[in-house]
Structure formats: C-alpha cells, structure tokens
Amino acid sequence: MADNPFRLIRDIAASRDRNEQKLLSNRLERALREQKRLPIEKDHALFSYIGAEQAFVAGDWTGWRPTVALGRLPNSQVSVALIRFASDARLEYKIHVGERLILDNLNPLKCSNGLGGENSVLEMPRYRARRYMGGASTRPLTPIHWKAGGREIKLYLPAKEAGRYPLLLFHDGLDYIDKVKADGLLDDLIRRRKIPPCVAAFVPPVDRMSEYWRGMDGYMQAIVEDLMPLLFAKAPIDPTRCVSVGASLGGLLSLRLTMDYPQVFSRALCQSGAFQVDEKGLEERLKLPLPIKVYFDNGVYESDLTAANDKLAEAILKRTNAKRTVASAGHNWTAWADRLPAALEWVMK
C-alpha cells in the first residue's frame, strides 16, 4: 500500500529524532513522485516541492502572484503548503522558484493555459466537468472577410434555412472554437433541443487590449455600423435576437454592447467579465433604462474580478432581466467551457 503523504507529514512534524525525520522524508518523496494527481484530504489540497530553493504557489486564487510560500519540513528537501478549497473547485496553478514559474512536476494533471503553454491543475473531489467533450461541428464554418483589421470571421450557419435565426456574436471567436469547441457545442445543444437553431459569428481580435478595453467605443461602433450589416447580408439573422458573447474583457465588451446599443444587441452572455476596468462607465449606464437580457458568471477564485462581479450583481440584478452564476473556479478557458452550455440555454430562451 502506498504511503499517505498527509500522514507522513504529520509524522515528520511530530518526530524529534533527526534520523527518523530523514527516513520519513525519503518515504514522503517517493510517495509524492508516485502520485497520479495532487493529494487531497477532505477539503485540503497538498502542494509540494522537492529541492533546496524557496518555492511558492501562484494560481487562479492568488491572481497568479507568488504569495503562498511552501514551508520546508525539518531535515528534509520537501517543502509543502496545505490549502483549503471548496470541495467542487477546479483551479490552475504553477510553482514559483527563484525567477521561474514552472509546472508542478509532482502533479501529472495538466492542461493548456491558452497561451501556448501549460498549467498544472487541481481538481477537488466533487468537481464535475460540465463542458462539451465532443469534437468540432460536423459542418464546415464559412469564412467571411471583415475589412476592419483585415480579419477573417468564421460563420456558423443552421443546417437547414427556414426563416430567420438568432445570432450569437462570439468575441475571442477563434478561442471559443479552439478551446471550447463552441461550434460543436452548438450542434449538440440544437440536436438535443436545448437551444433553437442559430447563426454564430466567431470574431477574433486584432488588437485585443484596444478593441476590448481602451478603444472599446470605436470598436463597438465598427461592430454595429460595419460588421452587423455584413452579417445580415451573409446569413438569415433575426435582428431582434442578437446576443453578444465574451469572456474576461470580452465579457465586458459584451455587456457594454448591449448597454450602448440595445436596439442591436438585446442580450449579453458575459463570462468572468473584467468589469473592474470600466467601473465608472458601467455605473453611468446603470442609471439608464436597460431593456436587455443579461447572463453573467464568474468564479470565486478570480481575485479582484470576483469583487467587481459582486458589485455589478447587486446593481444589475435589480435593474433588468439578468441571471448570475458563481462557480468554485478560476479565470481560465476550462471554467468558461464548463459554464457555457447552461449559459447559452438561459440566454437564448
């Protein structure tokens, strides 16, 4: 039977014999190297590092700042930190050693970080993946050239055309295709009659920080005055049922589009909206009538963003047809993929 890392740590801490501590530490190292995922005892996760350097943990719940120090066990090369999480949490993290941010080589569970690299993953016992696990859409996406920034949009069309359909406008569109398989998800939800047949436009950014934040007003105007007429010309869209969809800054952009142009976008789906960067702008708009439907969600382990969503919820839930979902999750594409199916069902009712 494999040694229990938690028991070994308690035995090392309780021992006053130097040689016994070293023997127990060797057993602990072997146990940690043999594990299949991060050790968990009840609602506590055990983070560990083997080496002489001081190590820290940085992850979703720290805002990716190395603020959690791992403590060295006596007469040992093992450093540990025991952290409590919600029993259904899923979070991503890395180990910070010196100037390096590295994967946890004692935890085989990893995922793409959305930036070309990987993160280590913590999954608590009651976490259940709710994301779409299938492949891409069985039908090819239609490419459309939008002259603004010279970008190519991917257009998802209904299997059969019979009338006009709701539009889902996905910001960070290629990420929603590549990381969430949103086109395949739409096939699945439509097939199971969870949502009506629809058109979806997957729009990539060219200069994300400008378009989704600092230069948002100009970009929103370009969407309304230039992109939307282009989409209406290419697809059978019902202009009264247009939904703006986005995550992080894309979530902020989605909410602002419905607030500033409710005659064009009557609904917004905002995942982990970065509302903290536009608090004044949102406060001004919350004083006006809001004839819109808004879904927004966030994780409880998203640092400053969680507080910004709490503040917005207090105001917007009183003002319009809105729904908020809070999950034991961080700021990452897996969290958004897990929540997207239910979000689409609600916002498209």
**DSSP labels, 187-206:** HHHHHTTSS---EEEEE--S
- Which residues does 150 contact at the CB level (< 8 Å), separation at least 6? 206
Question: pLDDT of 230-271, one tens digit each?
Answer: 999 999 999 999 999 999 999 999 999 999 999 999 999 999
Closest C-alpha to 103, from 114, 91, 92: 92
By CB atoms closer than 10 A (0-12, 13-18, 19+), residue 248 is: buried
Give the integer Cα–Cα distance in Å for 274 and 59: 18
Q: Taking the model in full, what pTM does it have?
A: 0.94
For the chain, list the domains and their CATH numbers.
Answer: 5-123 (2.60.40.10), 142-347 (3.40.50.1820)
Instruction: List residues bridging with 120 in a β-sheet.
Output: 93, 110
Closest C-alpha to 301, from 103, 120, 104, 91: 91
pLDDT < 50 stretches in the chain: none
Give yes or no for a contact between 327 and 339, defined as CB atoms under 8 angstroms apart: yes
Question: pLDDT of 121-147, one tens digit each?
Answer: 999 999 999 999 998 898 899 999 999
Closest C-alpha to 89, from 134, 49, 38: 38
Give the integer Cα–Cα distance in Å for 160 and 21: 70
Q: Which two tokens stand for residue 160?
A: 């059969």
Predicted local confidence at residue 158, as pLDDT: 92
